[in-house]
Structure 1
């Protein structure tokens, strides 16, 4: 197995048939009162007390070598909890910058 092979499989659906389109139309027109939810438990406050958002999808990380100014790297390491997580903090700072630049570019676009 080479290092560039994917770590997960992707599902690529085939074309939707006319029969499937018709079934989806019928389902979309069905009122909630006619849907059988008996096999699905209703979510209560206890569920949401322990629910966590965003645990099912993680962005793909790519390992790289990056040269940073020593004082910048030192700052992130000093501000990380127990000296750990500084790389995540650097990633967050870079992401915030990228998002800000994207927003700025979107405002300038006609």
Structure 2
């Protein structure tokens, strides 16, 4: 009978092949607590001053002019109001 034997020799790791441990490397690392993966929050990071949702009535021609500029038209309205203020 032949017996399967596993190779138990440790694989040689060249110290020069190990990645440099930078702050960015640690920021991208997964965090585990007692073997359980702690997942980061989903979505965008929280901002210090979040925008508030309001209802604002504008003339139709103003809305059409901003919509015609493509995606991000609401942010451009915000920028225009900021410049005017």
Q: Quickly name the TM-score band, shorter chain normalised.
A: 0.3 to 0.5
Specify which structure has the higher proportion of strand.
2
Specify which structure has the higher proportion of helix.
1
TM-score, length of structure 1 as denominator length: 0.33
TM-score, length of structure 2 as denominator length: 0.42
